[in-house]
Chains A and B, each alone.
Chain A
Amino acid sequence: GQNIDQPTEMTATEGAIVQINCTYQTSGFNGLFWYQQHAGEAPTFLSYNVLDGLEEKGRFSSFLSRSKGYSYLLLKELQMKDSASYLCAVLDSNYQLIWGAGTKLIIKP
């Protein structure tokens, strides 16, 4: 079956760095997305990786290792507004998005 695993909840301190991991087992792979979802709001796109390596976008970076079925989202210089759920999703061989359950990130002052 298809499976995406990410931690349920993480806590970090304002100003610090946090890494949210995502491992996947899917039928085929055509890319991996990260979305951010604030409580009660719609998910919004953060990043897309299809090749191995690190993609940096301001305070956020996303890493992919296809051979390991692994990705992480790195958030630097954490701000209180980064408190949200972070969703990992893989585009499978049928070009359908398979979603993880999301990681709730709590930022403390």
Chain B
Amino acid sequence: DVKVTQSSRYLVKRTGEKVFLECVQDMDHENMFWYRQDPGLGLRLIYFSYDVKMKEKGDIPEGYSVSREKKERFSLILESASTNQTSMYLCASRLGGGEANEQFFGPGTRLTVL
């Protein structure tokens, strides 16, 4: 079974802090994704990566950056957290070579910015 893990289930930070969210997958997947999920809205793509050291902006990249130094790890960084970044953050991975492959999700990190 594919396992995608995220560093924290719950996180509380203050406005202006730098926040790191870590995601690790154990099935050698090429593609990794960061989403945020808010009530009444669909999952919104922040950034994704097709390979090590590669990154692409999604629909809402403003205020975020990412890092993929190793194939299994994809980090999301909030350079200066703001209250409107309070949300559920979901990481996903997918086997490359076919976009129809399903995405496997981590358990999510519920971030609160005060």
Contact = CB atoms under 8 A, between A and B. Distances in A.
A73 interface: no
* B interface SS class: loop
Interface residues of A, number: 24
Nearest to A100: B42
A72 to B, nearest CB: 18
Nearest to A44: B105
A87 B103 CA distance: 13
Nearest to B6: A42
A102 B42 contact: yes
A10 to B, nearest CB: 16
Contacts of B102: 33, 45, 48
Contacts of B105: 42-44
Contacts of A100: 42
A48 B107 CA distance: 22
Interface string A60-96: 0000000000000000000000000001010100011
Contacts of A101: 40-42
Contacts of B43: 43, 87, 89, 97, 99
17 contacts: A30-B99, A31-B99, A31-B100, A40-B108, A41-B107, A42-B90, A42-B107, A42-B108, A43-B43, A45-B103, A89-B43, A96-B45, A99-B43, A99-B44, A100-B42, A101-B40, A101-B41
Interface of A: 4, 8, 30-31, 33, 40-45, 48, 50, 87, 89, 91, 95-102
